[in-house]
Structure 1
Amino acid sequence: DSIGDPALIVTGTMRITKSPTRLLIAKYSVDFLDKIGYIKNEMNFQTGAGGISLAVTKFMADKMREKNVKAKFINGGITKYAVEMLKEGLTDSLIDVQSFDLEAIESMRSDKNHFECTVDEYANYFSKGCLVDKLDVGFLGATEVDVNFNVNVNTHSDGLLLHGIGGHQDVAAGCDITMITIPAYRNRLPIIMDSVTTVTTPGETVDVIVTEMGIAINPLRTDLIEKAKNIKSIPIMPIHEMKNKIEKITGKMEKPEKKDRIVALIEYRDGTIIDVVREVAL
């Protein structure tokens, strides 16, 4: 007899997306980094465990193989795809704050170059040596983005709560390039709008928005705009232009009606309150 079933630690199966549009988002992300010179020896990056993120990890591995370069470390939630990169020698190490599957757990147990990392070491705002500050690139998701590059991960567009913040703010603030990888619309609802339903991550820490329609670069990142000015293989446009293109397909979205009652506070990584979530009038 034994207690529990390790095979059920992972809920569902994490697979690379088969959606052509989401694969295109991942391809645009990696191609953009390559064109601006960020895929190089001793780079550090973080991806996640969603379908687009897994595709990004695969395409990063393909590009690194092609260019014969090796990362210093891959950080964050670790999946079997990152483990495969370590085994292949595409990265010196994995730094694991969260293991997303059994392959990652086994690797951390058996591979001396797969390190466990505490959340404090990972993203403590008051630490001068946390890992997010050493990242070259962070790939993050969103439920919504607005024209000021603010990002929402806490609520749906209907105003209802989705989940917590996790390390979203930390990665965005710490890494050199924050890339938000998202489909242009979900269920015919546009994901780029004038103002997000809830501000989770402030726009000044977000650098690049990637959808299947192309890429929008934060105007604050004049260095990236300069590096990208001669890229012809990827559609690059101002975020207002991308928003207008999406709305030609979806139409404008109506904002949810809310009551005065506050049901949640959005706390930034330094402890300040940057937004509130109000009860939705259902």
Structure 2
Amino acid sequence: MLNSLKREVLERPYEGAFKNQKFMEYECSKDKSRKPNFGKSLDEIIDSIELKDGMTLSFHHHLRNGDYILTEVMKRIAKKGVKNLKIAATSIFPCHDILVELMEKEIVTKIYASYYSGPVAKAISEGKCKEICTVSTHGGRPRAIMEGEIVIDYAFIAAPSVDDMGNISGSEGKSACGSLGYAVADAYMAKNVIAITDNRVKKLEKIDIEGYTVDEVVEVESIGDSKGIVSGTTMITKDPVGLKIARDTKVLIENSGLFKDGFSFQTGAGGISLAVADEVKKLMIEKNIKGSFASGGITGYIVDMLEEGLFEELWDVQCFDLKAVESIKKNPNHRKMSANTYANINNKENIASKLDIVILGASEIDLNYNVNVTTGSDGVILGGSGGHADTAAGAKLSIIVSKLVNARIGCIKDEVLTVSTPGDTIDILVTDRGVAVNPKHKELIENLKEKTNLNILTIEELKEIQDSYTGKARKFEKSDKVVAVSEYRDGTSLDLIYKI
């Protein structure tokens, strides 16, 4: 019922993640029996490393807004007199606001990340970073690192537990965060890897990162506050409008031709997305449908679906709440995966490409189905693609769920301010006022009109309804200064982000 018109034009030949030339060179250079060094304090480590202007330092975000490590490391590095450092962080949260001052002093002059929020996002939008920053996808980041496009000099890994061989786990310790999937490429490919932990043990059973990749282990009092993992909406919406969108999405999924035993599924942690998951759960029970897997960043709600036998397994790149952290520790069917396994376009086994259905949000969508989840209507960076573009391209059916009008602002634009996900990878928009199906899916449109009571409209018709409530949106005036690039999963540039 769904055709295969996805973003094939950008699909590169499979080069083989963990089999490309850069990685093979790395593999040959490492002694897999070696152990890292132990015993130095964080101050001693920073004093001992050979910092030079222009180096690239990496960090991961699995502790999200509870992370202490980026701040503690950069506070010390800032005293060393180096300039023009590049930060390759997996994501940036409000707790990383030290970077604003470091950008203003030109100690840090470029940031690579898949998601930006808080003061750092605002500062970049205001042009406070000397160089153009990059907003990548979660799959694009490991691809770039493993293929040598981003070369990391020092990777600082916040490690919830480290054993005597230097092996790292995210599942153990007081700062447990579950999966460490975003830090794996850094550990394999960085020139120097420093694990910073607040829990050293004799031997780990579940290993995220092998000790032979680690050069130094530093023990500190605390690497962060795991409660900061829950730094967004992780509850089902109670808003009647959001619940209607979820019910309509359920009807759509049931009639998509994909809802059958063995289907795979991913949804975000937003209120409407979780409401969709709840409706899908009820439908699975009603129709006695068992799914193969759910994937992505995992919430406790998806954990419940695993424990109730609705899915055979979960593939988890990051835990979105503490229930997911506990589940991944004890349930063998709750599997950890690296970002490479999750969504690297050049890894032919990537999980994103095996998805049947993905539920995604949008701050804006345009008449060509391009989606913006990177900037707000005022041009300020408010997030980033994360896995949005990866899963939209990989899944057989990518569904955007959004209120048509929210706080007097319509979601449909003539053109989005920033393209985060290209429109040829988006299949359906579900709003409270109607459903728009990408016109490439003619058979699906006919089937939904015939078999359901959904209000199937063109996206142009939906926009007319929206504009009757909001009026015509005025065109956003961009400045001349580019502050960041919205980068697609294969490394091509989708759009430019301008100074506000």
| Cα distance change, pair 90–192 in 1 and its aligned pair in 2 (3 A) | same
Note the C-alpha offset of 1:14: 2.3
Is residue 134 of structure 1 aligned with residue 354 of structure 2? yes
Unaligned runs of 5+ residues in structure 2 are: 1-173, 175-220
| Cα distance change, pair 254–128 in 1 and its aligned pair in 2 (3 A) | same
Kindly provide the amino acid, as one letter, of the partner of residue 258 in structure 1.
K
Match among 214, 218, 223 for residue 438 of structure 2: 218
Note the C-alpha offset of 1:220: 1.2
Contact 1:158 1:255 in 2 (8 A): no
Is residue 79 of structure 1 aligned with residue 299 of structure 2? yes
| Cα distance change, pair 237–192 in 1 and its aligned pair in 2 (3 A) | same
Query: 1:36 and 1:151 mapped to 2: Cα distance?
Result: 22
Note the C-alpha offset of 1:9: 3.7
Note the C-alpha offset of 1:7: 4.0
Contact 1:44 1:134 in 2 (8 A): yes
Q: Where in structure 2 are the equivalents of 1:1-282 lying within 5 Å?
A: 3=222, 6-11=226-231, 14-280=234-500
Superimposed CA distance per residue, residues 211-248 of structure 1 (whole angstroms, 9 cap, x where no aligned partner): 10121000112232232231342111111000000110
Contact 2:375 2:417 in 1 (8 A): yes
Find the residue that maps to 1:204 and give its secondary structure.
Answer: helix
Contact 1:73 1:94 in 2 (8 A): yes
Superimposed CA distance per residue, residues 50-77 of structure 1 (whole angstroms, 9 cap, x where no aligned partner): 0011111111100000000100000111
Q: Structure 2-normalised TM-score?
A: 0.54
Note the C-alpha offset of 1:95: 0.7
Superimposed CA distance per residue, residues 249-279 of structure 1 (whole angstroms, 9 cap, x where no aligned partner): 1111112222100011111111111210112
Query: 2:257 and 2:339 mapped to 1: Cα distance?
Result: 30
| Cα distance change, pair 230–9 in 1 and its aligned pair in 2 (3 A) | same
| Cα distance change, pair 64–146 in 1 and its aligned pair in 2 (3 A) | same
Query: 1:100 and 1:122 mapped to 2: Cα distance?
Result: 16
Query: 1:136 and 1:166 mapped to 2: Cα distance?
Result: 19
Q: Structure 1-normalised TM-score?
A: 0.95
Query: 2:313 and 2:226 mapped to 1: Cα distance?
Result: 25
| Cα distance change, pair 257–56 in 1 and its aligned pair in 2 (3 A) | same
Contact 2:316 2:336 in 1 (8 A): yes
**Worse-superposed segment, 105-114 or 225-234:** 225-234
Superimposed CA distance per residue, residues 26-60 of structure 1 (whole angstroms, 9 cap, x where no aligned partner): 11111111123322100001001000111111111
Contact 1:157 1:255 in 2 (8 A): no
Query: 1:13 and 1:36 mapped to 2: Cα distance?
Result: 28
Unaligned runs of 5+ residues in structure 1 are: none
Query: What is the count of residue pairs matched by the alignment?
Result: 280
Contact 2:384 2:420 in 1 (8 A): no
Query: 1:105 and 1:87 mapped to 2: Cα distance?
Result: 14
Superimposed CA distance per residue, residues 191-213 of structure 1 (whole angstroms, 9 cap, x where no aligned partner): 10111111111110000001101
Contact 1:25 1:182 in 2 (8 A): yes
| Cα distance change, pair 96–226 in 1 and its aligned pair in 2 (3 A) | same
Kindly provide the amino acid, as one letter, of the partner of residue 389 in structure 2.
Q
Contact 1:43 1:71 in 2 (8 A): yes
Query: 1:250 and 1:268 mapped to 2: Cα distance?
Result: 32
Query: 1:13 and 1:266 mapped to 2: Cα distance?
Result: 24
**What CA RMSD, in Å, does the superposition of the two structures yield over aligned residues?**
1.6
Query: 1:203 and 1:46 mapped to 2: Cα distance?
Result: 19
Query: 1:21 and 1:108 mapped to 2: Cα distance?
Result: 33
Kindly provide the amino acid, as one letter, of the partner of residue 196 in structure 1.
V
Note the C-alpha offset of 1:13: 6.4
